[in-house]
Chain A
């Protein structure tokens, strides 16, 4: 996909990612609720579907779903912070540094566990 020149910057890409993940989740949710409702209305059909869910392709799609959820969740937090926390550039740098530091430390523990 060709991104037009005036859109080539992180904030616009973050906006688009938030928008697309939101749309994708909106498409997923009705199907999700429909499947859940089968537990009450047609349990046998639900069992049949759940056996399909063992398919590796479905497992892969689940990763996509978790990715969409994570992206949309953090995108929403980003917007809330952007609009409701009037931080100075220095405070933003400190916050980003704190997140990066926490990530570094937790990744070190993760590597030791692996």
Chain B
């Protein structure tokens, strides 16, 4: 099969085509690894676990963001061709490696760090798995930070300040976490410039999330919480 791979660094680069032997069982990451091991050792890409847990191997495959280690070539091959590029909406370091800094910076900016409400001297807070807030929070904790949703989002593409689906979903998780006491500060961090109100509900985040999470609904939850907070006069 013909595989076009993005080569270059920064803003400059072009697709380079390789002929890769096709196998019955083959992931997109296998294809990239084969090129790097058999044809061009200088091809740069990122991966770690190969089983869909670490979130480091996401790339654009035929124009769609995917976790390449769990994407079978057979399912994405179009006319015997494959086009593999670095993740969209992020600066390119080299070849298939995107600079994840903006993604993680926004994670922090959205208040993604857990701020405990108890000290270590106090007894551990009991959290019931059936607590409604906990149930909502649980829906998003399987996020692996792969940035697929971030690459899929047109709002991110159009607004560099937009926090993006993953960071906002994290904020929604914290907002529902019974261990978080200051919910208003969680909300304040994600309702300003670049916050949840920028979301146009295009739903690409939910469509492409490899772990089948639902950032679209999480952001809708933040919008509801913000509306409620506004109507109660808390700004």
A residues touching B (Cβ–Cβ < 8 Å)?
4-7, 9, 11-12, 15, 79, 82-84, 86
Contact = CB atoms under 8 A, between A and B. Distances in A.
Nearest to A15: B202
A5 B64 contact: yes
B207 interface: yes
Given A6-B88, A9-B204, A86 B154 contact: no
Interface of B: 60, 62-65, 88, 151-152, 154, 200-204, 206-208, 216-217, 220-221, 223-224, 227
Nearest to A11: B203
Contacts of A79: 201
Contacts of B152: 6
A9 B203 contact: yes
**Residue in A12, A82, A83 whose Cβ sees the most chain B Cβ within 10 Å:** A83
A86 B207 contact: no
Give 10 closest A-B pairs by Cβ, nearest first: A11-B203, A5-B63, A83-B220, A9-B207, A15-B202, A5-B64, A12-B202, A6-B64, A6-B152, A83-B223
Contacts of A83: 201, 220, 223-224
A93 to B, nearest CB: 15
Contact of A84 (B204, B208, B216, B224): B224
B63 A4 contact: yes
A79 B201 CA distance: 8
A12 B217 contact: no
7 contacts: A6-B88, A6-B151, A6-B152, A7-B154, A11-B202, A11-B204, A12-B154
Contacts of B154: 7, 12
A4 B204 CA distance: 12
B224 A11 contact: no
Contacts of B220: 82-84, 86
B208 A86 contact: no
B221 A6 contact: no
Contact of B62 (A5, A11, A15): A5
